[in-house]
Amino acid sequence: MAEDKPSWKEYPMAATIHSPGSATDQNTGDWKSMRPVRDSSKCDKCGICWIFCPDAALYMTEEGFYEVDLYHCKGCGICAHECRKEAITMVEEGE
Amino acid sequence: MGERVGLEVSLAVSEAVKLARADVIAAYPITPQTHIVEELSQMVADGDLDAEYVMVESEHSAMSACCGAAAVGARTFTATASQGLALMHEVLFIASGLRLPVVMAVANRALSAPISIWGDQSDVMSERDSGWIQLFAETGQEALDLTIQAFKIAEDRRVLLPAEVNIDGFTLSHVVEPIVIPGQEEVDSFLPPYEPQVILDPEKPVTMGPVGFPELYTEIKKQQNEALLGSYEVILEVWDRFAESFGRKYRPVEHYRTEDAEILINMAGAMSGTARIAVDMMRETGKKVGLIRTRLWRPYPFDEIRNAVKGAKAVAVVDRALSFGGQGGPMCSELRSALYPLAEKPVVTSYIAGLGGRDITVENFQTIVEDTGDVLANGPREEYKMIGVRE
């Protein structure tokens, strides 16, 4: 709704961002066409997917697996490419 | 009250920057601007000016360094001309878009090709829409005063925009004129230290210049344009304050013998001095001629221009720049647009003169006034004329 958005008077001067790390609030994962899906039976929790993810969109669960944060994941597929156990498959969004 | 000395105008600009206590100067030498920054580097080397002088490898880097310095809260100055200003082009928009109050002197010079080191105003006209406050000086005193004022205008929290002082290359930059150098204490009281609103600070991080998505960009540009339009009132305030402190009065448009004038000549910069002589000579022969000089080019002084032309039959605009394939002169286009909504408006004629350092003479102005008289008598003809061009 356009009328809910701020007027030009309400934005900080020159669009300067005053809260560090605010990019985490941005939903940057809504335009991916492929998403990574992990087969936990193949995964040995080595963490190479976590190391290679260029967007820090993986986090470790209590069980030690690396879960994808789909809010930020852009579906680049680097994790699936790097996984030595072939435990990550890229699946078409919508499937 | 200051000391009156004979001084090259470029050095007077350097003196103004010193009096303004600039913190950072980043510049690359280019004719005819070089004397300004050469003198400043000497002042810094001699310990007369406590500033950081950044040697850069290009004007693109000079303006980038100025943006960085202004972003951490430094009072920042640079100077350039012609190709140097053109090389700064993309960074000029970043300075204004990030609302960084950089001050720059431009010793106006023609653009290549063919190569010309000589003066005209095509360099600044190519940067007309860069979002900078743009001022034109006619004299050395004005060059010094405008430079000091530019810092106060640019740094005002209601403005926070970069400002540019244009001085014609050679015909102003390289001449020696009697100039009053204000005292340091007077300047300090007129221009206190810069107090930035937002700076880059590791203790309190901010992101300057993030991505402006389509839903945001228009609003930020509106904000920037409002600041530039709003700077008009601040400029008037600063000029009033300057007049109180230093006794010299400034207005966006300068009038000379405009009372009862039927034909007005309009221009900016150093050629106005020659035009005054031409006006005096024509007045002696009974011609009702006057002069209006545009000192403030951005924001454009619409109301002042409309008031200035009231009662005149014609305005002859003399541009030292050619807008290829367009209406001819950028200053004339602007004036025509400003007058268009008026029910009663004078005839406007456009002349291009003084390109690439060609002299503009008293006779040229007489020709321009006669030609405009001819248009008044016989009706309009071509869009504009190039003065002195060999057919």
The per-residue pLDDT for range B316-368, each reduced to its tens digit, is: 999 999 999 998 899 999 999 999 999 999 999 999 999 999 999 999 999 99
The CA distance from B296 to B252, in Å, is 5
CB contact under 8 A, A14 and B222: no
Contact B222 A17 (CB under 8 A): no
Check CB contact under 8 Å for B208 and A16.
Answer: yes
- Domain B3-246 CATH assignment equals 3.40.50.970: yes
Is CATH 2.50.20.20 the classification given to domain A26-92? no
Mutation test of the interface with chain A: which of B99, B207, B222, choosing the one with the most A Cβ atoms within 10 A?
B207
A contact test, residue of B223, B224, B228 with most A CBs within 10 A: B223
**Which pair of structure tokens corresponds to residue B15?**
């003196």
The pLDDT value recorded for residue B1 is: 61
- Give percent of chain B above pLDDT 70: 100
| C-alpha separations of A1 from A7, B219, B220, B280, B314 in Å | 13, 16, 19, 63, 51
B223–A20: do the CB atoms touch at under 8 Å?
A: no
Does the pLDDT at position B88 exceed 80? yes
How many Å apart are CA B157 and CA B141, to the nearest integer? Answer: 27
Query: pLDDT tens across B214-272, in order?
Result: 999 999 999 999 999 999 999 999 999 999 999 999 999 999 999 999 999 999 999 99
3-class secondary-structure state, position B283: helix
Asked if residue A2 has pLDDT above 70, the reply is no
Closest CA to B316 of B359, B285, B357, B282: B282
Residues of A in contact with B207 (CB under 8 A): 16-17, 20, 22
Predicted confidence band of residue A1 (pLDDT cuts 50, 70, 90): very low
Q: Residue A3: pLDDT above 80?
A: no
Q: Does B198 touch chain A (CB under 8 A)?
A: yes
State mean pLDDT over B37-41.
98
pLDDT (average), residues B138-165 = 98
H-helix segments, B72-108: 82-97
Distance CA B111, CA B356 (A): 8
Do the Cβ atoms of A8 and B98 come within 8 Å? Answer: no
For a pLDDT cut of 70, what percent of chain A falls above it? Answer: 96
| pLDDT tens sequence across B100-145 | 999 999 999 999 999 999 999 999 999 999 999 999 999 999 999 9
pLDDT at position B375, please? Answer: 98
pLDDT at residue A21 in the model: 85
Tokens of B372: 């405009």
B219 in contact with chain A, both atoms CB, cutoff 8 A: yes
DSSP secondary structure string, B128-162? TTSS-EEEE-SSHHHHHHHHHHHHHHHHSTTT---
DSSP letters spanning B310-371: TT-SEEEEEESS-BTTTTB-HHHHHHHHHHTT-SS--EEEEEE--GGG----HHHHHHHHHH
Closest chain A CA to residue B227: A13
**Helices in chain A by DSSP H: which ranges?**
48-52, 78-82
The topology (CATH level 3) of B253-386 is: Rossmann fold (3.40.50)
In whole angstroms, give the CA distance from residue B134 to residue B240: 18
Which of B157, B160, B206, B228 is the mutation pick for testing A, counting most A CBs within 10 A?
Answer: B206
Contact B164, B66 (CB under 8 A): no
Q: Please answer yes or no on whether A11 and B220 come within 8 Å at the CB atom.
A: yes
Give the residue extent of every domain in chain B: 3-246, 253-386
In this structure, chain B runs to a length of 391
Token duo for residue B334: 């602007």
Name the β-bridge partners of B166.
Answer: B106, B136
Tell me the ipTM for this assembly.
0.89
Whether chain A has a CB inside 8 Å of the CB on B212: the answer is yes
In this chain, the answer to whether the domains covering B3-246 and B253-386 adopt an identical fold is yes
Q: Which of B372, B251, B354 is nearest to B307 (CA)?
A: B251
Distance CA B130, CA B162 (A): 10
Q: Which residue has the higher pLDDT, A1 or B284?
A: B284
Inform me whether the C-beta atom of residue B197 falls under 8 Å from chain A C-beta atoms. Answer: yes
Q: Which H helix or E strand runs over B105?
A: strand B103-108
**Which tokens go with A10?**
């309400």
